[in-house]
Chain A
Amino acid sequence: AQSVTQLGSHVSVSEGALVLLRCNYSSSVPPYLFWYVQYPNQGLQLLLKYTSAATLVKGINGFEAEFKKSETSFHLTKPSAHMSDAAEYFCAVTRGGYNKLIFGAGTRLAVHP
């Protein structure tokens, strides 16, 4: 079985500060991992994905994530937060040849001036 744990339901940072959103996964097979962003009353937008290629994945809007098998982690980072980054972020896992996603509980990112 696969699962995802997002540590911290709320994260607050100052504009310009580092953003770090944590995601740990559990999977008995090599995972595919995703980060999605959701703005209020909207669907999900894919930020980036890991599918067993490079362990450091760069996404849109300056976000990146690193797959660390030894730590079973896939944390999302951005060097400098913008006000527009305020949103809900979801980490998700699946496996090769299977397209059902398992979502984490989500982390709400607040960015203050």
Chain B
Amino acid sequence: GAVVSQHPSRVICKSGTSVKIECRSLDFQATTMFWYRQFPKQSLMLMATSNEGSKATYEQGVEKDKFLINHASLTLSTLTVTSAHPEDSSFYICSASSAGGDTYEQYFGPGTRLTVT
């Protein structure tokens, strides 16, 4: 149980275009989803926290107009990188937690490798 998927697993896009990454909880309802960014050989950096049906809360220094997060249902959250640039290339990981269980436990997706050329 508690499986989280991400799509796509890898994406290459041209500079200036936008790309959408999906995060789905497959077998539970995720009241909260998190988006992380991970640079090579570094730790995870929390970008934002989203609760179903409300606006995402962004961490300090994360551009909310560049990284658009939508959490429209209890099983789906999306991260859209708008007007992508090469410096946005990174590994993006989502996680999800459920209010019905251990609210402090997050279940992680497999990640999405974004390369901007």
Contacts and interface: CB of A to CB of B under 8 A. Distances in A.
B110 A99 contact: no
A104 to B, nearest CB: 7
A98 B108 CA distance: 17
Given A42-B111, A43-B111, A44-B93, A100 B46 contact: yes
B36 to A, nearest CB: 9
Interface in B66-117: 91, 93, 95, 97, 102-111, 113
A24 to B, nearest CB: 15
A48 to B, nearest CB: 11
Contacts of B102: 51
Given A90-B43, A100-B46, A104-B43, A41 B104 contact: no
In the complex, which range does the number of interface residues on chain B fall in? 20 to 34
B90 to A, nearest CB: 12
Interface in A43-97: 43-46, 49, 51, 90, 94-97
B49 interface: yes
In the complex, which range does the number of interface residues on chain A fall in? 20 to 34
A63 B74 CA distance: 33
B11 interface: no
Interface of A: 32, 36, 41-46, 49, 51, 90, 94-101, 103-106, 108
Interface of B: 4, 6, 32, 34, 41-44, 46, 49, 91, 93, 95, 97, 102-111, 113
